[in-house]
Amino acid sequence: MPGSIGMTTASFVAYIIFMVLSMPTIWVRPHKLETIFHISSIVVVVFEVVLLIWAVATMGPAGFGDTMHSSGAGVNGWNIAYGIVSTVGSLAAGILNQNDFARFAKKPQDAIRGQAFSIAPYGIFCCLIGILVTGATEKRYGQSYWNLPDLLSAVITHGGTRSRVAGFFAGLALVISQMGINVPSNALSGGFDLAAMAPKYLNIRRGAYLTALISIACNPWRLVNTSTVFLSVMSSYSVFMGPMIGVMITSYFIVNQQKLKVDDLFVGNKSSIYWFSGGYNWRALIAWVCGTFPSLPGFAASVNTDIHVAAGWTRLYYICFLTGITISGTVYVVLHRVFPNQTQTRWILDAPPAKACMQQYEKMTDCQFQSSEDSLHYDVEVAQKIDV
């Protein structure tokens, strides 16, 4: 393939094969994917531990390579901030869409515990292993391999039969782990959103397949060419999703005071208190733009090296997640105070305390889904016939 494509013919064939293998997994209903998640999680943990042991045990007397270069305390401080924001950016999509999966939990506490005791520790664990493995193999192969497929390719190229066998099983582990991440985080998340936007024409499954097809047009292989490009991509999530998260947080905790009229969330006409202006809340759009704009100059400079901006814009981009949440959340609250949605405001003032509202809807839900040791009052046969 031409060099301008950004990948070799073999890599493109591998990408297509992976997409084809992912299609059956997308067909599985979301609430039945738990087993696949468990298998994927176990496989990737075992693989990463084995990879770390191999890299450190076989690096020889040469030791670790210079994967990081010191540039002074001030510069390193901003680089650390950039690394933190990039890491948060990799989780931003999950933070924004976590309710798509948390709603399948039996209790709210289950979702909280599952995320609190897994995401942060495991995220640190993965980053640490990545740095150590890259440092331990740099002098051996003459360059830093931040991309695992590139590292495995180097192992196969410079090794013998055993290296090729190890490369095969390592690649298989990567396929399983990436499928466990790609399907729920990308395909299904897109399916949820598209189904909500056009429920007459799309369900979750159709939306997920449509998302998978559209993703090919985005040339995703270009996003992982180098560690620099990868970090820029991860930070871009913070640039655009941080302000969205800021709007969501302030909307729930400050504007709505943790009170939601759940029934009206599913009403698509003027009778809903959340109809706003023609079904759109212009305050949220303005708040998002205000939260996104300050980070755009620095983001543009990081993506295109021909663009040069002042150091202040670059440093503002380095902390874009924090500034995005703060600015968008503040603007959203101010706009709702200055230009309130009267029907929404009246309902919030007249409604009982937030805890009472939650208990009311919990009771309504319990009436529909009461369970006991002998029976579950939920029509499973009907649910299985629903085309999700």
- DSSP string covering 304-317, please? -TT----HHHHHHH
Is residue 106 located within the same domain as residue 253?
Answer: no
Give the tens place of pLDDT for each residue, 279-326.
899 999 999 999 999 999 998 888 787 889 999 999 999 899 999 999
Is residue 240 located within the same domain as residue 206?
Answer: no
Judged by average pLDDT, the poorest of 2-11, 83-92, 351-360, 376-385 is 376-385
- Does 57 score more than 70 pLDDT? yes
Is residue 137 located within the same domain as residue 160?
Answer: yes
Is residue 312 located within the same domain as residue 379?
Answer: yes
- Does 236 score more than 60 pLDDT? yes
Range of the domain at 388: 226-388
Is residue 252 located within the same domain as residue 377?
Answer: yes
- At residue 235, φ and ψ (nearest 5 deg) are -70, -30
Take residue 349 and report the two structure tokens written for it: 């003032």
Is residue 173 located within the same domain as residue 320?
Answer: no
* Residue finishing a domain among 225, 258, 291: 225
pLDDT at res. 388: 46
CA gap 111, 102 in Å, rounded: 5
Report the Cα–Cα distance between both ends of the chain, in Å, rounded: 39
pLDDT at res. 290: 97
User: How much is the pTM?
Assistant: 0.75
Is residue 67 located within the same domain as residue 135?
Answer: yes
* Residue finishing a domain among 198, 225, 252: 225
- Provide the domain count of the chain: 2
Which pLDDT band holds residue 91 (cuts at 50, 70, 90)?
confident
Is residue 194 located within the same domain as residue 326?
Answer: no
Is residue 131 located within the same domain as residue 151?
Answer: yes
- Whether residue 97 contacts residue 189, with contact meaning beta carbons closer than 8 Å, is answered with yes
Cα–Cα distance list, 16 to 19, 21, 326 (Å): 5, 9, 41
Which pLDDT band holds residue 274 (cuts at 50, 70, 90)?
very high
- Does 233 score more than 90 pLDDT? no
- CB contact burial 81-108 (16+ within 10 A = b; e otherwise): bbeebbbbbbbbebbbbeebbeeeeeee
Is residue 29 located within the same domain as residue 61?
Answer: yes
* Residue finishing a domain among 178, 209, 225: 225
Q: Which residue has the tokens 């309902």?
A: 347
Query: Between 148 and 381, where is the model more confident?
Result: 148
Among candidates 194, 197, 232, 196, which has minimal Cα distance to 215?
A: 194
Is residue 261 located within the same domain as residue 346?
Answer: yes
Number of alpha carbons in the 13 Å side-chain half-sphere of residue 55: 26
Residues 6+ apart with CB under 8 A from 207: 190, 191, 192, 193, 194, 195
Is residue 128 located within the same domain as residue 245?
Answer: no
CA gap 247, 251 in Å, rounded: 6
